[in-house]
Amino acid sequence: MAGLELIDVQKRYQGRTVLSGASMEVPAGTCVGIVGANGTGKSTLLGILAGMTRPDGGRALWNGADLLSDAALRRQTVGYVPQGSCLFEDLSARDNLLLWYPKEQLAWELEQGILGALGVGDFLTKRVSALSGGMKKRLSIGCAVARHPPLLLLDEPSTALDLRCKAELLAQLQSMRAGGVTLLLSTHDLQEIEACDRLYLLKDGTLRPCEPGGAAERLAELL
């Protein structure tokens, strides 16, 4: 299939099974959400796809090619926004961005692109260690999309964002999806859930499809 396909992905930690056989399909150019209670393995699954965590079994295919075993393919394909910060705390926001953006592209993105929409220019000269959680999240997202990856993994992307930034983020994600980017996100946010084309519940180590519509009522029952 065109897009991302997970086949029986497995992970164990210290004898505890976190993922016992997670499988799903994420068609190219769609937004797919993963929901589930805390500790069910959502972050672990995204970390595996990003190459940060080694699985104990299973496959993940991007357009038919093995994403888990091919590091070069992951670098070309995947953008990853983890829950926590992966920024260089002693550098300014601008210096962090320059690790990912050429200067000319950075200037354009701050004026007209996603960095401008996220308001990153408001704290460009501040050291990362002095930023709020919301500012760090916006900066992390900005770094992750610098190379326009065709597959973007987001672990609870709107956490710590205020309402304005959350709305801007959702608008940007919808724009990227319209441009052909494939989005896979873990979330508890109802606005993000309703924006998904498909939704999966991660429970007892496996993924089960569920309907995005009527998310609040459905999730209260499923979780």
Ranges assigned E (strand) in the chain: 3-13, 16-27, 31-35, 57-62, 65-66, 78-81, 151-155, 182-186, 198-203, 206-210
CATH topology of domain 3-85+147-222: Rossmann fold (3.40.50)
Question: Is residue 24 within 8 Å of residue 30, measured between CB atoms?
Answer: no
Binning pLDDT at 50, 70 and 90, where does residue 215 land?
Answer: low
How many C-beta atoms surround the C-beta of residue 102 within 10 A? 10
Ranges assigned E (strand) in 31-171: 31-35, 57-62, 65-66, 78-81, 151-155
Is the confidence at residue 188, as pLDDT, over 90?
Answer: no
CA dihedral sign of residues 115, 121, 123, 129: positive
- pLDDT number for residue 210: 87
Q: Measured between alpha carbons, how far is 202 from 102 in angstroms, rounded to an integer?
A: 39
DSSP structure class, residue 123: G
Tokens of 119: 């308001």
- pLDDT number for residue 86: 85
Question: Is residue 152 within 8 Å of residue 184, measured between CB atoms?
Answer: yes
DSSP structure class, residue 204: T
Q: Is the pTM of this model over 0.85?
A: yes
**Tens-digit pLDDT profile for residues 69-93:** 999 999 999 999 998 888 999 999 9
Distances in whole angstroms, Cα of residue 173 to Cα of each of 26, 83, 126, 185, 186: 16, 17, 26, 11, 14
Is the confidence at residue 214, as pLDDT, over 80?
Answer: no
Question: Is residue 65 within 8 Å of residue 36, measured between CB atoms?
Answer: no
Q: Percent of the chain, pLDDT > 90?
A: 68
- pLDDT number for residue 223: 55
> Strand pairing of 65-66 and 57-62?
antiparallel
**Tens-digit pLDDT profile for residues 42-66:** 999 999 999 999 999 999 999 999 9
Is the confidence at residue 147, as pLDDT, over 70?
Answer: yes
CA dihedral sign of residues 202, 153, 111, 171: negative
Binning pLDDT at 50, 70 and 90, where does residue 217 land?
Answer: low
| Residues belonging to the chain | 223
CA dihedral sign of residues 146, 159, 213, 168: negative
